[in-house]
Amino acid sequence: MARLAAALIALSAWAGLSVQFQSTVASGYSVGETLWILLRFFTVLTNIGVAVTMSLLALGKRVSPSWLGGLTLAILLVGVVYMTLLRGLLELSGGALLADTLLHKATPVLVTFWWLAFADKGSLKWRDPLFWAIYPLIYLPYALTRGAAEGIYAYPFINLADLGWSGVLASCGMITLAFLIAGFGLVALDRKLGVAPAAD
């Protein structure tokens, strides 16, 4: 059952990525330009991680609980940030709307339910959220560098031209704090649902 559910989630993520790719190409961009554009977004990068990981699980491969915990937290971040900060900023239709629904809504919910139902519990450590936070913290300078060089920022809350350093650092600081709090909450839930080791 876990493998079948993982396969369905992988299908959702790959479908969202594929539709988003096709929709962007249809807007007049080349394949190379489309790849470069899409790799600007935390949403796309995280959904790629979900698609690959869930594909491996569907094939019966083992994935470490810490990786699954971090991936679940990252895709939850995608969904929560979208629902609280980004929803409604763009008028979408057709393929773009379908991709938006799959990448920002369906996949985050499905991954969360998969973790709750099927992931091995009890082995996460209190230090894990600090390692999980490395991913968004690495993404931030990458996104800021691309935004400054190209004049197009992936998200309005990291737009240096509009917010300045103080605004960007404030918004990203709050997101990072929420990420860490959620991460420690995930570890606590993992330990409650599983058999936690005696010590880290």
d(C-alpha 119, C-alpha 103), whole Å: 21
pTM above 0.85, yes or no: yes
For position 155, what pLDDT does the model report? 95
d(C-alpha 14, C-alpha 103), whole Å: 9
Instruction: Dihedral sign for Cα 136, 77, 26, 161, please.
Output: negative
Q: Where are the beta strands (DSSP E) in 27-105?
A: none
For position 26, what pLDDT does the model report? 92
pLDDT-derived band at 87, boundaries 50, 70, 90:
confident
Give the Å distances, CA to CA, from 32 to 9, 35, 36, 50.
Answer: 27, 5, 6, 22
For position 11, what pLDDT does the model report? 96
Name, in order, each residue with C-beta under 8 angstroms of 5's C-beta and a sequence gap of 6 or more.
Answer: 110, 114, 117, 118
* Residue in this structure with the two tokens 């094939």, named with its chain if needed: 59
Chain segment 5-36, per-residue pLDDT in tens: 999 999 999 999 999 999 999 989 999 999 99
